[in-house]
Amino acid sequence: GAVVSQHPSWVICKSGTSVKIECRSLDFQATTMFWYRQFPKQSLMLMATSNEGSKATYEQGVEKDKFLINHASLTLSTLTVTSAHPEDSSFYICSARGPPFSSYNSPLHFGNGTRLTVT
Amino acid sequence: DQQVKQNSPSLSVQEGRISILNCDYTNSMFDYFLWYKKYPAEGPTFLISISSIKDKNEDGRFTVFLNKSAKHLSLHIVPSQPGDSAVYFCAASARQGGSEKLVFGKGMKLTVNP
């Protein structure tokens, strides 16, 4: 089946530093990947849609300069949290749509998420 | 505004009994609904889905029911097994201007006791 790998699974960084999270589709090509964020006991909130070869589409309220998304290949999207602050501490999770790709109702395949803690 | 609501944060059932997980939505544009299951430290995995043109979809022990007039769907698991213990997310999808919107509920923690 379609596998999405996310790395790292957890990271602790100091306030003001930047953190990069990678999301890879291992056995399929993903022209579109989605980045979600989840606070404790809250739902998965879509942050942005990552499009291969073009700019990401950000949801309202998400700072594009703070959460940099790069989708340079059909199997890799990265999310960089720049100048991280403690309020950015959260669970970040990526997903990609599995086959059949032509159907927008194809289920999403999720990575295992990244727990970011900013001290 | 929470467009997809899972009002009960948790549910505990006995092994072998039925588990019923409920989900309500407010946006009438949603036309596809999905359930995802999540274990700790793992990403959600797709479980079952239903299109708005149907009112029931069954896959083994899992059945999803959709009541469009009530904007309500439910996931039935029967018989429940201890391995079903996880957090279950309800999600709803709609097309908007050529793109899609997938909205998740807050999740419900199901515990199946042996």
Q: Which residues of B touch A49 (CB under 8 A)?
A: 99
What is residue A1's predicted lDDT score, i.e. its pLDDT? 65
**C-alpha to C-alpha distance for B37 and A54, rounded to whole angstroms:** 31
pLDDT at residue A81, rounded to an integer: 97
Banded pLDDT at B1 (limits 50, 70, 90): low
Pairwise CA distance, residues B72 & B105, whole Å: 13
Q: What count of CB pairs under 8 Å joins A to B?
A: 54
Provide the pLDDT confidence category of residue A14 given band limits of 50, 70 and 90: very high
Partner-chain contact B46 A111, CB within 8 Å: no
Backbone angles phi, psi at B63, to 5 degrees: -135, 135
Whether A9 and B41 lie within 8 Å, measured CB to CB: yes
The pair phi, psi for residue A88, each rounded to 5°, is -85, -5
Residue A3 has pLDDT above 70, yes or no: yes
pLDDT band for position A100 (50/70/90)? low
Residue with tokens 């509920």: B105
CB-based contacts of A111: which residues, under 8 Å, 6+ apart? A4, A5, A6, A23, A93, A94, A95, B43
The residue of chain A with its CA nearest to that of B106 is A43
What pLDDT was estimated at residue B101?
Answer: 76
Q: How many Cβ atoms from other residues are within 10 Å of residue A12's Cβ?
A: 11
The reply to whether residue A110 touches residue B89, judged by beta carbons under 8 angstroms, is no
**Residue A105: pLDDT above 90?**
no
Considering only CB atoms, A93 lies closest to which of B43, B99, B107, namely: B43
> What is the residue-wise DSSP string for A58-97?
EPTT--TTTEEEEEEETTEEEEEE-S--GGG-EEEEEEEE
User: Taking CB atoms and an 8 Å limit, are B100 and A41 in contact across chains?
Assistant: no
Provide mean pLDDT across the span A71-84.
Answer: 93
Using the beta-carbon criterion (under 8 Å), do B2 and A43 form an inter-chain contact?
A: yes
Nearest residue of B to residue A95, measured between CA atoms: B43
Question: CB-hemisphere CA count at 13 Å for B92?
Answer: 25
pLDDT in tens, B56-75: 999 999 999 999 999 999 99
Residue of A nearest to B87 (CA): A41
Given this model, what pLDDT does residue A48 score? 93
CA quadruple A65, A54, A36, A45: dihedral positive or negative? positive
pLDDT higher than threshold 90 for residue A40: no
CB B35 within 8 A of CB B48: yes
* Residue A33: both structure tokens together: 């990947």
The kind and range of the H/E element at B72 are: strand B72-77
B8-39 pLDDT tens trace:
999 999 999 999 999 999 999 999 999 999 99
